[in-house]
Amino acid sequence: MNAPPIRYAANGDIHLAYQTVGDGPLDLVVVAGAVTNLEVLWDFREYRAWVEELATFTRVILFDKRGMGLSDRVRIGTLEERMDDVRAIMDHAGSESAALLGVSEGGPMSMLFAATHPERARGLILTGAEVKEETTDDWPWGESTREDFERYMTIENILERWGKGTAIGYFIPSRADDEYAREWFGRLQLQSASPGDAMATMRMAFEIDVRHVAPSIGTPTLILHRTDDRVCHVENARWLARHIQGSKYVELPGDTHPPFVDGEDMMAEIREFLTGVREPAEPDRVLATVLFTDIVGSTERAHELGDRRWRDLVARHHEVVRAELTRFRGREVDTAGDGFFATFDGPARAIRSAKAISESVRGLGLEIRAGLHTGEVELAGDDVRGIAVHTGARVAAQAGASEVLVSQTVKDLVAGSGIELEDRGAHELKGVPGEWRLYAVR
């Protein structure tokens, strides 16, 4: 799915960027955490798949908070002012009432809205939601003491880290060594706020304390939290479960903070809470060969060429890739940044397409890495999902410059095709069980 169009709602003289996805029977407003940019978020495959899944049973409303992303870059504002931005966005989107999904620092905003406007909040979902960031004698479950916060919160510290993406391992430990995720998170930081605005946002968040709000919430509430969440201590959720009357609390294993990564268990709880049905309709399942490609050294080339020349080069790269996919009857599923995800109904054609792409882009002065795997995938509209997709992406991550790697399954299926393969040994693929033998196409 292409990125949804950006629309703008006004709250006074503040203009707020938002998107809607899906046309389900109920509206769901996602109140995200501290760092957002709607366009950059959409570039992350797992975020996009998460939103598209929500959109199968809701109309999803996504937005950038004031001072953030594509919304007006103004002062961050108080929690009350930012809560009123939700009302303005709902009004512009024609939503009389909606469920709110508050993530991390977006949790307090969602709680305040539900307590203040119960007639417009038909449900409240909290994932990794904060109650109070400051660690004090009466709240030992904050992120840090004020002394430690002030020691860290200097412009020199922020400038050193902002845009590097290194904090991805704190929010999503399983992606700590994932170059694609780190590059994406760095772009998200840079395009969500300047270092100074980021510091102001973090200072504002550090002062929030919604312990006095929680007991006033009468909206049906679902609280989801992972036991080893590093960003927000699980006792935040346990406290909320005790103080929001009638709430349902589900504690889940894991250490991932955002709900859109490895969040199938959370999605099942959200679906059941909003629809009464835990599982979606069984999707179509077919055998397919998945191909993932991405440009090697893209960050360095982008810095070398500058934004305009790099965008032009990436556009030419996309033209070449699409031409080769068409020639070999591949189906483009997704394009994220400089990478492609495509499917084929035959592994030999997929390999030949990958080799043709690699050779063609070399004429542009580029090198790609590519990975292929064959397995059963789920078809849900235009989306393609399943463990085979994850496996293909992990195979691609192991490839070197101008290398096409395939799994053992692909090797077995192309026997007799004349395609020559070299054994690259056994590998562990992050997030995929077992040991996998990989082969390079000569």
Q: Where in the chain is the domain with CATH 3.30.70.1230?
A: 284-441
**Mean per-residue pLDDT, 7-30:** 95
Structure confidence by residue, pLDDT tens digits, 343-373: 999 899 999 999 999 999 999 999 999 999 9
**Mean per-residue pLDDT, 190-213:** 90
**pLDDT for position 380:** 77
| Rg over CA atoms, the chain | 23
**pLDDT for position 188:** 95
Structure confidence by residue, pLDDT tens digits, 73-99: 888 778 888 889 999 999 999 999 999
CATH of domain 284-441: 3.30.70.1230
Task: Please tell me what DSSP assigns to residue 299.
Answer: H
pLDDT of 2 higher than 90: no
- Kindly list the strands in the beta sheet with 14-21, ordered across the sheet, starting from the edge strand earlier in the chain: 7-11, 14-21, 59-63, 27-31, 98-103, 121-127, 221-226, 248-252
Instruction: Give the count of beta carbons closer than 10 Å to the beta carbon of residue 95.
Output: 19
**pLDDT for position 285:** 84
**pLDDT for position 379:** 84
Structure confidence by residue, pLDDT tens digits, 374-389: 999 988 777 898 899 9
Residue 155: pLDDT band by 50, 70, 90 thresholds?
A: confident
SS3 157: helix
190-214 burial code (b ≥16 CB/10 A, e <16): bbbbebebbbebbebbbebbbeebb
Overall CATH class of domain 7-275: alpha beta
Q: Give the burial class of 368: count Cβ atoms within 10 A of its Cβ; 0-12 exposed, 13-18 middle, 19 or more buried.
A: buried
Residue 1: pLDDT band by 50, 70, 90 thresholds?
A: low
**Mean per-residue pLDDT, 298-308:** 87
- pTM for the whole thing? 0.70
